[in-house]
Structure 1
Amino acid sequence: MNIGIIGAGNIGSALAVRLTSLGHSVYIANSRGPETLQDLAQKTGATPVTAQEAAQRGSDILVVTIPLEKIPDLPKDLLADVPAEVPIIDTSNYYPMLRDGHIPELETGDLTESGWVQQHLGRPVVKVFNNIFAEHLEKNGTPAGTPGRIALPVASDDAAAKQKVMALVEELGFDALDGGTMRESWRQQPGGPIYCNDLPADQVREHLVRLGSERTEAQHQEFLANHAKAEQAMADQGIKLK
């Protein structure tokens, strides 16, 4: 496949390594220009391009993996020439303390994180790869049927795009589970039991069922509180996000 990646941070780089190793053609962009990606190109085999070129040349799948706060800065016409059937993957997470500042819609629970991204892009997105560490994404994929194989939920309102992305997740070495609609994607956000815990499929399914489909105010506040504690612990350790 031809896959575009907008964002050359940890997740984007990990995906570039794995996808090129599987024989896909990967076109990767960052905010500083393709000339700054030569080292990454040598490491991954991906082709450095501009964001617009990544959108155009990623004719099978486009991945947007940039800090949430940077989503509004993307070119307004970025997806103008991207066919409607091309799945657009969003990997973002909301880190208000360490990176993104406060986004009112995400504080009140009116929108899920990828729902907010979807509004800004003006296109349906598929939420996946947000709840696994980049190093684990790059190195911990295993063949189907391996005991304890990590499961990743995939959420979207676009059923066809979701199925195509789920097939890619399986190819990368993870069990792909239907995470429901975009409105239900809160279940895989930071602060919850599915976030970055590398759980097998049976445990992820159990959590999805237990959490339910409609987020309650109590659940929203619980996730926010858990995530705030995790962010503070990261800050105390001197961890910085980019």
Structure 2
Amino acid sequence: MVTTAQSQATTVPRQIAIIGAGVVGTAVATQLVHAGYSVSISNSRGPSSLYEVERLTGAKALDLERAVSEADVVVLAVPMSGILPLQPILHSCMRPGMVLVDACNYYPSRDGIIQQVDEGMAESVWISETVSFPVVKALNNIIALNIASSARPKGSPKRVALPVAGDDDKAVAVVMELLEAIGFDAFNAGPLEDSWRQQAGQPAYCTEPTLKELVTLLSSAHREKAKENRDKVMAIAKKLPPDFSPQSMVQVARLGAGLDLWKPRSWLAAIQLAYALARASFKRTA
């Protein structure tokens, strides 16, 4: 059952650690820095590999152990295949009261097979059990390149809403407050077990809905179709040229979720997608 809840006043985190310096990690770090938070960023290669990322985002490059140890909130922005290697660090450095945010998505073609997830376990539940720490699911269902461009001030028309799922009310409230600060309406999407509703292949994935639309999309999620739809999304993404517009991808996703059916630009985006896929197929067979 999807429920709504408003974020209550929370203690502003003193330090936020982003683990992962790919497109998602750098985008989230940049927005949090712009919102006035103290942010660090780290990866498995060490801070010497992150000086350019540090310059671009304003986040401080740190080694993993220090970043986690000094943080109040830790955001996991890595492929699911990167979770197991992080387990010892998270186990030794996380402490009670910290908030662990899962911004990851599972794609077997990239991450390898995770049997429990393939058998139906919610991705974030698997992560929480793997690292032995409560997890809040957020920031996984928006295209990373749009995290900055889609952010809007509070009260703006058609402000994008992002779901937040978790079992700890205080941790969920902290994450909702962060999302509001970086330009999104935050929606309490229920317990962590229900986070499958915002995973890849579901209607709420990469559709950038309003708050009203998000409630409907989460409610219309189909667990049985999740794997099939997820794999279709990944197969299409692999065929697209690097310069295919992220906004066009959102428009196609919204069309597929039953939104914007009467908007010509949505159908134009679908035509552009079909053309890009046809060109990619022709190049492979030529």
TM-score of the alignment, normalized to the shorter chain, above 0.5? yes
- Counterpart of 1:146? 156
The offset of 1:238, in angstroms, is 6.3
How far apart, CA to CA, are the structure 2 residues paired with 1:34 and 1:54? 10
Rounded to whole Å, the distance in 2 between the matches of 1:208 and 1:231 is 20
Which whole-Å deviations, capped at 9, do the CAs of 1:53-83 have from their partners, x for residues lacking one? Answer: 110121x211111110110011514343433
Counterpart mapping for 1:153-168 below 5 A: 153-168=163-178
Matched, 1:57 2:60: no
Give the structure 2 partner of residue 5 of structure 1. Answer: 18
Deviations along 1:196-239, one digit per CA (max 9) or x if unpaired, are 1101000111123344xxxxxxx333111111111111223367
| In structure 2, distance between residues paired with 1:139 and 1:168 | 17
User: Aligned equivalents of 1:84 and 1:113: distance in 2?
Assistant: 22
- Which one has the largest radius of gyration? 2
Q: Which runs of 4+ in 1 moved over 3 A?
A: none
Residue 31 of structure 1 corresponds to 44
Give the Cα–Cα distance (whole angstroms) in 1 for the partners of residues 144 and 113 of structure 2.
24
Counterpart Cα distance in 1 of 2:90 and 2:188: 28
Does residue 222 (structure 1) correspond to residue 225 (structure 2)? The answer is yes
Partner of 2:80: 68
Whether the aligned pair in 2 keeps the contact of 1:27 and 1:57 (CA below 8 Å) is: no
**Residues 195-234 of structure 1: matches in 2 within 5 Å?**
195-211=205-221, 219-234=222-237
Q: TM-score, normalised by structure 2?
A: 0.77
CA contact (8 A) 2:128 2:135 kept: yes
Contact map agreement 2:197 2:223 (CA 8 A) in 1: no
Residue 134 of structure 2 aligns to a residue in which SS?
coil
**Contact 2:87/2:130, CA 8 A, preserved across alignment:** no
Paired position in structure 1 for 2:145: 135
The structure-2 alpha-carbon separation of the partners of 1:35 and 1:230, relative to structure 1 and needing over 3 Å to count, comes to same
The one-letter code of the counterpart of 2:100 is I
TM-score in terms of structure 1 length: 0.90
Instruction: For structure 2, list consecutive stretches of 5 or more residues without a partner in the other structure.
Output: 1-13, 243-286
Check whether the contact 1:55–1:79 (CA below 8 A) recurs between aligned residues. no
Partner-residue secondary structure (3-state), 1:8? coil
Alpha-carbon distance between aligned partners in 2 of 1:149 and 1:137, rounded to the nearest angstrom: 12
